[in-house]
Amino acid sequence: MAKNIILRSGSKHINTTIQLTGSKSECNRALVIEALSNGRVKVTNVSDAADTVTLAGILRNQSQESRAKNQESDSQLETQSLATVDIGPAGTAMRFLTAYFAIGNEDVILTGSERMKQRPIGILVNALRQLGADIDYVENDGYPPLHIKAGFEQKTDLITIKGDISSQYITALLLIAARLPQGLKLQIEGELTSRPYVEMTLSMLQQAGIQHQWEDNTISIANQEFKETSIWVEPDWSAASYWYAIAALAEEAELFLPGLTAYSLQGDSAITEIMANFGITSQFKDGGVYLKKEPKPIQRKIFDMIKCPDLAQTVIVVCAALGHEATFTGLETLKIKETDRVAALQNELGKMGVKLVEKGQVYKLDCSEKFIPEKMTIATYEDHRMAMAFAPLALVIPELEIEEEKVVEKSYPDFWKDLEKAGFETE
């Protein structure tokens, strides 16, 4: 049975240094690049997030050369046989591996958790089939598990894909582009919603020697070789966002997060600008970022999360806790994440009298009936970000119980330990 965790804030004054794990977004891209480069690219500061550990293990199993080199140090990452690859709840791994195996020379059944079997993948499969991949659905059309067959023969180099879908579909195609005999021209229809994630992918490919052209709405990558290089993975800005939320809800806060840079590839570094509205200053020096809370009235009323959807839960919970009736846009992709994050937010915020009202693609917080309960229990819906976005509420609610404490292992395994370091009490 899943264990819950109870949080209490030992102090409303937060003053500590927190060393964050490597970015899951960067690391998952880097690991696929490493695998595609046949050993020319090496990845350092690998994330210890469960999703990344899963992906690293699967990719190592695919490469005899890598396995020979890493046999001793990474024996704990040994995973399934080649016939069936089970990625569990790792959504990024599902998308990236679908493309990776599609151009490989092995027959693979790619599957995952029950929730993963409900997350659509038809757009990516259709694009790969157009390119020449042979992929069948094992259970339901448009959803995992997938039977990906060997013998890829490229039929075309031009694929058109909608811009308002998950950026992971686009990234999956871009990652394999240089390995395609004819290369790839990816034509994006309409507005590209998660542009920073696509830019991150292209920037990391460039670090590995893969050049691209981006003209108007078409990204072109020719068939080309990876160069010998090392990719250092920056700490995770998504993980940093929870510390910004803690700073915003604390009475006083001074935090240092080593390794984070002002010029990050990660779209979630936008948290520095967003939290400036709540009086949190970010100073980059000494090889990291210092956060400090300064008294400031909150004025910004509209937050557009289109470029950083993974920050939405964090920012919405902070606004709710402060009774700040903000409006949010750009939440379109939240309903197809680990859970329907919009419904999950509505359910849990309702426990403190706050409504998240949906009108088309605009969401408004109604705090008119907000109250602070003595005790509140948060359901996580098997979603790591629900647990971590709501955890800062322990600074305003005397006793906060969060269900399924292990859910955070997906992206930030040391989250509860780090909270203890910052003075929170856990049981």
Please identify every residue annotated as catalytic: 310
CA 112/CA 91 separation, integer angstroms: 9
Q: What is the 3-state secondary structure (H, E, C) of the chain?
A: CCCCEEEEECCCEEEEECCCCECHHHHHHHHHHHHHCCCCEEEECCCCCHHHHHHHHHHHHHCHHHHHHHCCCCHHHCCCCCCEEECCCCHHHHHHHHHHHHCCCCCEEEECCCCHHHCCCHHHHHHHHHHCCEEEECCCCCCCCEEEECCCCCCCCEEEEECCCCHHHHHHHHHHHCCCCCCEEEEEECCCCCHHHHHHHHHHHHHCCCCCEEECCEEEECCCCCCCEEEECCECHHHHHHHHHHHHHCCEEEEEEECCCCCCCCHHHHHHHHHHCCCEEEEEECCEEEEEECCCCCCCCEEECCCCHHHHHHHHHHHHHHCCCCEEECCHHHHHCCCCHHHHHHHHHHHHCCEEEEECCEEEEECCCCCCCCEEEECCCCCHHHHHHHHHHHHCCCEEEECCHHHHHHCCCCHHHHHHHCCEEEC
